[in-house]
Structure 1
Amino acid sequence: MKTTGNTILITGGGSGIGRELALRFNELGNKVVVAGRRIDALEETVAGRHDMHAMVLDVGDPQAIRAFAERVVAEHPDLNVLINNAGIMRREDLTRSRDLSDSEQTIVANLLGPIRLTNALTDHLAGQPDAAIVNVSSGLAFVPLSATPTYNATKAALHSYTVSLREQLKGKIEIIELVPPAVQTELTPGQSTRDGYMPLGDFIDEVMALFHEESTPKEILVERVDFLRWAERDGHFDQAVEMLSTH
């Protein structure tokens, strides 16, 4: 993926990883459109920046996604990169029957949202030079954190979907998976200051260095996430599951 001269759409661009990716790519000479549910957070991201734009999008609403896709292509016809970053993470107690709204909302936001938005933009992106789609999954796609079962499942599904997407779009759109470890963001309450989580700035520094490699890796893996990504291959999967469950 080229790192400058793009027009990039980033979902979940009002905070955390999405916001920092937006700022870094903009600094490299890319036009960046940040999308999300909260216009105030999006406007804070783009404030004072050249070639940054904010657009409201609820990835949980399929009709809104279709309308958004039409609008973003009309307003930014040179759009050639999509970064599916928006997502939610909820703790769930599986030891008793419960209301499943958290599970259902997580599946819609984390899995159906990226699938629907990618589908709405595939035809346009396939006709653009240097087109790329970046799906943000998680180290928990490979080793689940038992307290967040549906989150883990959606990220595992997104990983699998990304592999299929890469094969089907080979030669048309470059498909990249970004796999964060536990990073200090506001994905969950208090996470931005939680000990043992990777500082957001350090994470983005390492990610951008990987994007700058001569041939962009199909999986963007910072060193901190290797323990989870390769747990099964390296024979410490059960140990990793137990470690996360007692963390």
Structure 2
Amino acid sequence: MAADDNENWEDRPLIMPFCGQSCWLVYQTLERALGRSVIIEPGLSWTLVRRQDPNMEHLAKITKCNTMVVLAEKLIEESFDPIVDRHTRNNMIQSVVYNCGSNFPRTNFSRFYTAILENDGRVISAASLRIPSPEIAEIPFIATSEAWRRKGMCRKLLEAIESALGDIGIKRIVIPSSTEMLAKWQIKFGFVNVDYQTNKNIKELNTLMFLKTTRLQKVINPITRKTADLNFLPPSSPRLPPAPPSGQ
């Protein structure tokens, strides 16, 4: 995440694992929301998940999250042409959806989450989500199962994500769009070309970009966005612990 100028971490002896208190609060809020399904309307719910290592203390939640991640990865793989990193030769979709880590920032996807839309327990739409700064979220992949396309499911998932992100102070969403999808993102979903300053900031955050794609953005409007509570805590909540020292 980008450096947070509002926090003073100079007295820390080593590099912080988070940019500052605001990044830590966003991370903690997302972690507390994991595995909590929220009803959007009868028959439809959405859930935030990520792959996690087995832990007996939270086994039921982790099992649920990991199972949903597997189903989401399959859905996204079926919806996109294969994307292989030209340097590592890794499958990019798998690396992102399974939030694989790396010692190199460009290929470190450990902060990715997956937002999943379900119909009566069946995964019908999924989106990869990462928050590289306290104000920006990126969604490099979003897909809907073939049987549910052209029924507004992608819009419902995006609206839920947008509302939840707005609750924790995220200002805008950025996506990479293929040429064929540009008009759809702009006309149907309200995305626009990334402005100069945002594009400059994004380049410093190692956000994902693919060949023959264009970056688009959508500003989250806190007034008009719909409510899709995910039991998110306010960014200023005193119940969240302070950011840990380096190395934890």
TM-score normalised per structure 2: 0.30
The structure with the greater share of residues assigned to strand is 2
TM-score normalised per structure 1: 0.30
The structure with the greater share of residues assigned to helix is 1
Larger relative contact order (C-alpha < 8 A, sep ≥ 6)?
Answer: 2
